[in-house]
Structure 1
Amino acid sequence: MFGYLGYRDIETFGKSNQKLIVKTFHLTRYRIPSYSTIRRAMMLVNTSDLVESFNQWASQFATPNDLTDWVSIDGKSLRTTCKNSDNSSQNFV
């Protein structure tokens, strides 16, 4: 979402793009949720399910044949930037 990380930032993004969001999602009400509503909704997200869904979605863009074209530069450095790097609950930030 263009670098917005906090709930208030996401609310600001929504308000800034309100017309496009309403049109794109065919919303019947011309309203964007407040930051507290966004926060409550995010607290209900099961991160394991989210990571699994993301990986399933992303896998359509890479086939096993594509993996031969990849180059690993320095996995040790990348690995230190996240927590639980070897399982689905890793912290992508």
Structure 2
Amino acid sequence: MQLELAADELKSVLNRLRRAQGQIAGVIRMIEEGRDCEEVITQLSAASRALDRAGFSIIATGLEQCLTEEGQTVADKDRMRARLEKLFLSLA
């Protein structure tokens, strides 16, 4: 399955991933500095949410694309749906 993101969707996903990257770097720094456990967990939770939102956005785009593709057989659509469902559940 080849996923094609529109420019605005791509920008949104990349922003979320960059935010998560910064939050993860912050978590590493906080652990190295011996910061409070609650602060570390809060930051780690924020990074996890950013990654989840990026993943859900990518899956939603894939779902939209696969449902609108013409020329696919019912079997092709069913296989694609199963693959996307598996990906979605891996994030849940």
**TM-score normalised to the size of structure 1?**
0.25
Richer in helix (by share): 2
Relative contact order, higher structure (CA 8 A, sep 6+): 2
